[in-house]
Structure 1
Amino acid sequence: MAVNGQIVMIKGTRDGLILHLNDQCSFESIIHELEQKLSVNGVDHDEPMIRVTIRIGKRYLSGQQQETLKEIVREKQRLVVEAIESEVMTKKEALAWKENTEVTPIVKTIRSGQVFEVRGDMLLIGDVNPGGQVMATGNIFIMGRLRGVAHAGTQGDEQAIIAASYMKPNQLRIADQLSRAPDYESEGVYMECGFVDEVKGSIRIESLQEVTRRRPDLASFERRMLNG
């Protein structure tokens, strides 16, 4: 039985349609009502393509079940499924999430010619010398001097940050954004962080206090370290 008698709810937005599917009823009930509602809410051939997002709540769907939903939606002209969103993770997804959010502590000096790469966040206690390079899919925190190359968000995460006790890098990279060392002689700066400025679309370097304002979610970093 569906909660409040609603099995399929269709909501229109300026970006397209959102289909909310009840996660307390059988998959067969969803298919039956979805076919009925889409038949009633037909789309004219002359209308532009409408993007559809399907939200399935706390329900797991197999690949075949997802294809079944997509086929029913595709039967209606001018509708295309853009995404199926679920609040449930598969074991594989959960392990990948865990791997990408773990903090890897490293105690060493990264010397010229050395490259050190981790999944998730990197906590380096030591220096990155000129010619050395550190890379992480998440954030990079360096308790030491950054004078080489640091690349955070290597898989495209533009929200990643790079923080160091002393910042005078040869190069900073966050996702696909690149910031080279200044052409003029610089003394470097203490306790700074680099992040992608969403307005300018380039990497900015600001005081370390900027981290808590831009990334309040990093409070979980402290909890992971304490629980680890």
Structure 2
Amino acid sequence: MKGQKQQFVTIKGTKDGLTLHLDDQCSFRELVAELTDKLALNHSQGEDSPLLAVRLKIGNRYLTKVQEEELRTIIRSKKHLIVDSIEGNVITKAEALALKQKNEIVSVAKIIRSGQVLKVEGDLLLIGDVNPGGTVIAEGNIFVLGALRGIAHAGYDGNNEAVIAASMMKPSQLRISNIMNRAPDSSQKEVEQNEMECAYIDENETIVIERLQQLIHLRPNLTRLEGGI
């Protein structure tokens, strides 16, 4: 309609509470003024009404800690309203760096000897052996281009989708997330000396060792190349 004022705040009710869509192009002061007015008009709860969770969708706006707290204070000032989450598309440089570290492959060329521990964020690509008594730990996946005879712990922050692969899989212990598997008994089937293997958590929450060729079927989203392998 001609002359209609642009709305900076849109309030939508859901079964879980309220969702507030906040315009990301207007000034912060304009946003605060309209939010205050709309909450005053739309909020009329009785004394016995339950708490309503409020989700803020801020789009491409970056909020400082002070601005974020101001929005929380405005919403808290209304009885029975509590901020559940603030969701936006913008992250800080520190957050972007942390995300990059979690998703990058760290390449290391060395032998991990007894008593040594190598721990990385993201995936680990080790070009070398892990000797008995040596330990490699990664937040993501572990790939060893060499013999894995020591301890390997992938997905240490709770990632059950992480995998461990090695040119020679002879570990003293495997761990993925919080699941642990000791070295397989010598009575179990022998694998050819040159056959690469991978370990993963199956549907029974057990670590299973398979031929490396099965990895693409077990974890089809493992590759980061667009369009897959």
TM category (shorter chain) comes to 0.7 to 0.9
Pick which of 89-98 and 64-73 moved more.
89-98
Verify the 8 A CA contact 1:168 1:188 in the aligned structure 2. Answer: no
Match of 2:21 in 1: 20
Match of 2:178 in 1: 176
Ranges in structure 1 where 5+ consecutive residues have no aligned partner: 224-228
Alignment RMSD (CA, Å): 3.0
Match of 2:199 in 1: 194
The 5-angstrom pairing of residues 1-228 of structure 1 reads 5-39=6-40, 40-182=42-184, 185-186=187-188, 190-197=195-202, 200-208=204-212, 209-211=214-216, 214=219, 216=221, 218-220=223-225
Determine which structure has the larger helix proportion and give its number: 1
**Are the structure 2 counterparts of residues 114 and 64 from structure 1 closer, same or farther at C-alpha, using a change threshold of 3 Å?**
same
| TM-score scaled by length of structure 2 | 0.78
Structure of greater Rg: 2
Which residue identity does 1:66 align to in structure 2?
Answer: E
Within 2, Cα distance between the matches of 1:69 and 1:188?
Answer: 63
TM superposition shift of 1:68 = 0.8
Q: Deviations over 1:109-166 (max 9, x none)?
A: 2222221112222101222222211012222111223232111233344443322233
Within 1, Cα distance between the matches of 2:46 and 2:148?
Answer: 59
Instruction: Number of aligned residue pairs: give it.
Output: 218
Which residue identity does 1:216 align to in structure 2?
Answer: N
Ranges in structure 2 where 5+ consecutive residues have no aligned partner: none
Which residue identity does 2:29 align to in structure 1?
Answer: E
Q: Deviations over 1:65-109 (max 9, x none)?
A: 010111122223333223222211212112222233232211222
Q: What percent identity do the matched residue pairs reach?
A: 50
3-state SS, counterpart of residue 129 of structure 1: coil
